[in-house]
């Protein structure tokens, strides 16, 4: 059995990527309200701060900061996945292994995690989260994607509404986005 090692730093900020099992599925945006409800329920029981988040049709990226003395992001993701899956009809294909274990066929079993190292790493990952809808060809302008914390960051005057992935040098030079 594989030995998955996770970096666990109390109160740290982490970047995550989670994927649906069927990568051509659009379930996450089709059922975004159910996903939001699952996140709300988990946050009520086990708080964490959402720094950034983007929900794409078949995967999502998030940046969370955990409370001081807390390292258990895995239990939170497990609870979110379960709560979301419970809202979905059991129509997905199941492998014999998943069926035998009583699992659903919605999510990939694992997720990718990265511990944010410093402010520059944080900024780069926040940009990555927000540029993803454009990167995947879902929109021409970041602001056009509704399932993103980008709009919250615009409201806080961190990003211009027409930001399209430019770095600081391009913004200072006056190059425009969308």
Known catalytic residues are 147
Please give the order of strands across the beta sheet that includes 59-65.
49-55, 59-65, 13-19, 112-115
Contact by Cβ (8 Å): 99, 42: no
Q: How many whole angstroms from its chain centre is CA 35? A: 11
Closest CA to 46 of 66, 16, 18, 17: 66
Three-state DSSP class for residue 48 = coil
């Amino acid at each position: 059995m594989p030995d998955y090692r996770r970096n666990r730093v109390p109160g740290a900020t982490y970047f995550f990527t989670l994927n649906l099992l069927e990568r051509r599925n659009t379930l996450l945006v089709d059922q975004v309200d159910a996903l939001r409800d699952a996140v709300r329920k988990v946050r009520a029981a086990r708080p964490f701060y959402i720094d950034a988040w983007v929900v794409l049709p078949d995967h999502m990226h998030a940046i969370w900061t955990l409370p001081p003395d807390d390292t258990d992001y895995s239990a939170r993701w497990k609870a979110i996945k379960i709560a979301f899956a419970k809202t979905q009809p059991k129509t997905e294909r199941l492998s014999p292994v998943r069926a035998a274990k009583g699992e659903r066929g919605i999510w990939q079993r694992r997720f990718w995690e990265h511990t944010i190292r410093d402010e520059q790493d944080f900024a780069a990952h926040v940009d990555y989260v927000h540029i993803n809808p454009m990167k995947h060809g879902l929109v021409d302008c970041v602001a056009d994607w509704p399932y993103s914390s980008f709009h919250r960051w615009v409201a806080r005057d961190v990003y211009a509404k027409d930001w399209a992935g430019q770095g600081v040098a391009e913004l200072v030079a006056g190059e425009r986005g969308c």
